[in-house]
Amino acid sequence: MSRRYYITTPIYYVNSVPHIGTALTTVAADVNARYQRMRGREVFFLTGTDENATKVAEAAEAAGKTPKEFVDEISEEFKRIWAGLNIRYDDFIRTTEERHIKVVEEVWRRLLEAGHIYPGEYKGWYDVTTETLYSESELVDGKSPDGNPVREVSEPGYYFRLSAFAEPLLEHIEKNPRFIIPETRKNEVVSFIKQGLRDVYITRENKGWGIPVPGDESRVIYVWFDALINYISAVGWPDGDWESYWPAAAQWMGKDILVRFHATIWPAMLMGLGLPLPETLIGHGWVLMGDKKISKSLGNVVRPLELAEELDRSAGCGPELAVDAVRWHMVRTMPFENDTAFSMEEFQGRYNSELVNILSNGVHRVVSMTHNFCSGTVPDGALDEAALSQVRDALARYHAEMEAFRFDRAMDAAVEVGRILNGYIDEKKPWDLRKQDDSRLSDVMRTMVWMVRAVEAVLRPVTPTVADRLAALLNLEPLAEFSVLDGDAGVTPGLKLAQPQPLYVRLSAQKKEEGKEVREQPTQSQSSPADDTITIEDFLKVKLRIARVLDAAPVEGADKLMRLELIVGDERRQVLAGIRPQYSPEDLIGRQVVLVANLAPRKMRGYESQGMILAADGPNGEAILLQPDKEAPDGTSVH
C-alpha cells in the first residue's frame, strides 16, 4: 500500500473547551488535509483529546464529577466544536481508549528492555497547569517559566534517558532542514538541546487516574510521555499496516509545546524504539488578546463559534458562511514566526475588504453579467490564454506557499486571483462589448466564469462552504482536484449558471454607523440661511462618489422603481431609483452614475436603499441620469 499523507494536531487537554487559539491549530491541520486531498494525495488526519492529566482529575473533582464522566463530556464538546468549524478529521483518539493504553504499555516495555527507562528518585518542582517538571534553577520568582504556581515533588519513580539522544537529535535536525519549521523554532530547539539535555522523570504517584506503569501499579505514566504516543497508537503500531501511515508528514502544534516535548522528548522516544521521525514539526505562534496569550487560565478567551454567531447576527450571512469567515480570518492572520493579536476591528475589516469586496463581489459580477448578457449560459467563446496565464502564475505561488505550510501567504495568492478577476472585468468592460455587439464578448464571458472556478479552487481548503456555493452558482460539481484547472475546469459552452446570489454583504453594524453619522448632521434650519443658499461646509457634508451599475432589475409592484446594484470602489451598494420609465436594465448595466454615498439608508418596497443616484429633470419631468463625460475609477470622489 502507498504511503498516506499523515497529519496530526496535538491532543488537547480536556480541562476546558476550545478557544480560538486552540482552534487555530486544528483549523490549520484541516486546511492542510483539505489541500493535500485536492493535490490527489490519500490523507489521514488525526486529532483527539488528552485525558490522563493530573489537572483533568482536579478539574473533574471541582465540577463534582468522576474523571470519566468529566472527560466524556468535554471530549464530546471538542467533537461538537470541531464539527461546528467544519473540521473534517479521519480519526479522533482519546488517551483513555484501550487501543491507546495497550500501545503505551508496549512502548514502555520496549524502552525499558532497551535500557532507555530506569528507576530513580525525583526531587523538584511541578507545574500542574502545563504538566511540566522543573528544577530549582529553572524557577522564576518561585514560579514556573510560564508564570504558573508550582508544587514541590519528592518521590520514587522512573526516568527516560533523554540525555543519550542529544547528539542524534542535533544531527537529524542538521540533515533535515524541514524537520522543524519555522526557522526561529528550529533555532530555539537547537539552543535548548545544546544547553544540555537531562533525563526526564516520566512517572507520578498513582492516585487513581492515568495509565499504571506495567509491573508497578504504585506509579502512573507521566501524561506527556503517554500523550505523545497517540500519534503511533492511532495508526495501530506495532501491528497491521502502520508503516503506510508512519512517519507523519506534518505534525501541527503551538510553539509552547514544541521545544521541550515534540522536538526533543518525542523524537528521542522514537529513536529509542527504532522508528523513523516525523517529516515536519510545525510550531506556530500564539494568538494574543492585547499583549497576552489567549488562554483558558487567563480567562481572555475568544470562542470561535460564538464569533461566527456574532458575525451572522451582524451580516446576516447564515451560520455556515459565518464559520467560513472565521476560518478565513484565522488562516489569513495565522501567526508563524511571530505571535498575532486578535481584534474585532481587524476581523470585521478583513471580512469587508477581502471576503465581500474582492471575492464575493467579483463572483457576483460575473454571474450577474452572464445572466444579463448571455441569458445565464456560458457562451461558445475561447478562453483567454493570457488571462489564464496570470491566474496560473498566482496559483503557482499559492501552491508553493501551501506546500511550505505558509497558509497566511498562500491566501495572499488566493486574494490575488480575486483581484485578477475584478481587474479583468474592469479592463475588458463586457458591458461595452455587449452594447457594441462585439464578438469578443463570448471569449471574455467564458474566461470570467473560468476565473470563478479558480477562485473556488483556492478558497476550498480554507472556506469549504463558500467553495461549495461557488460550484453551485456555476452548476458544477465541487472541484475535487486542482488538476482540473489545467483544462477548462468544466466551464464548457452551454453551461447554465444558477441565479446570482451574493455570498457575503457588508456588515450591517457599519451601515448603522454610516446612518448615525448622517442623522447627526445639522438640519437645514440650523445651518442654512432663509434664501436656501448654503455654505461650502454644508456642501462638503454630502459625499458624492462615482459608482458603476453591476446589475439592475425592476421592483415588482412599483411602476417607477428600479433596483440597482452598484460597485463603489471596493464596496457594493443597493439603491432604489425612480427611473424605470426612462431606462431598461440593459441600458443601465455597466454605466457609471453619481451616488450620494452618505445618505441614511431607507426601506422601500421591502428593500433597503443605501444611497441615491443623481438625475436631472427632463422637459416633461423624466429622469436624466448624470454620469462623467469619460470613465473615472469606480469610487472616485465628486467635488
> Does domain 508-638 match CATH 3.60.70.12?
no
CATH number for 339-486 (one of 1.10.730.10, 3.40.50.10540, 1.10.1060.10, 2.40.37.10): it is 1.10.730.10
Number of other CB atoms surrounding residue 56 within 10 Å? 26
Q: Which grid coordinates belong to 214?
A: 506495567
> Could you say which DSSP state residue 367 is in?
H
Of the candidates 110, 147, 141, the residue with the CA atom closest to the CA atom of residue 127: 147
H or E segment and range at residue 190: helix 183-194
In angstroms, the CA 32 to CA 37 distance is 9
Q: Which grid coordinates belong to 531?
A: 434664501
Q: How far is CA 88 from CA 84, 91, 155, 404, in A?
A: 10, 9, 43, 21
Of the candidates 84, 86, 83, 63, the residue with the CA atom closest to the CA atom of residue 14: 63
Number of other CB atoms surrounding residue 149 within 10 Å? 12
Of the candidates 24, 83, 34, the residue with the CA atom closest to the CA atom of residue 330: 24
Number of other CB atoms surrounding residue 43 within 10 Å? 19
Buried b (16+ CB within 10 A) or exposed e, 172-199: ebeeeeebbbbeebbebbbebbeeebee
- Contact present, 122 and 157 (Cβ < 8 Å): yes
Kindly give, in sequence order, each residue whose CB lies less than 8 Å from that of residue 40, ignoring residues fewer than 6 positions away.
481, 483
In angstroms, the CA 363 to CA 421 distance is 8
How are beta strands 203-205 and 292-293 bridged, if at all? unpaired
- Contact present, 337 and 182 (Cβ < 8 Å): yes
- Contact present, 355 and 315 (Cβ < 8 Å): no
Of the candidates 179, 184, 180, the residue with the CA atom closest to the CA atom of residue 337: 184
pLDDT given for residue 437 in this prediction: 93
- Could you tell me which CATH number the domain at 5-284 has? 3.40.50.620
Kindly give, in sequence order, each residue whose CB lies less than 8 Å from that of residue 18, ignoring residues fewer than 6 positions away.
12, 26, 78, 81, 82, 303, 304
Question: Residues of CATH 1.10.730.10 domain(s) within the chain?
Answer: 339-486
Check the CA dihedral 603-609-610-614 and report its sign.
negative
Residue type, 444: V
Q: Which residues of the chain have pLDDT under 50?
A: 508-530
H or E segment and range at residue 14: none
Residue type, 165: F
The DSSP result for 143-189, as a single string, is B-TTS---EEEEEEEEEE-GGGGHHHHHHHHHH-TTSEESHHHHHHH
Question: Residues of CATH 2.40.50.140 domain(s) within the chain?
Answer: 508-638
In angstroms, the CA 281 to CA 487 distance is 35
Kindly give, in sequence order, each residue whose CB lies less than 8 Å from that of residue 475, ignoring residues fewer than 6 positions away.
495, 496, 497, 498
H or E segment and range at residue 339: none
H or E segment and range at residue 550: strand 544-554
Burial environment of residue 234 by CB neighbours within 10 A (0 to 12, 13 to 18, 19 or more): buried
Of the candidates 561, 554, 388, the residue with the CA atom closest to the CA atom of residue 487: 388
Question: Residues of CATH 3.40.50.620 domain(s) within the chain?
Answer: 5-284
In angstroms, the CA 509 to CA 316 distance is 11
Q: Which grid coordinates belong to 30?
A: 484541516
In angstroms, the CA 228 to CA 211 distance is 13
Number of other CB atoms surrounding residue 465 within 10 Å? 20
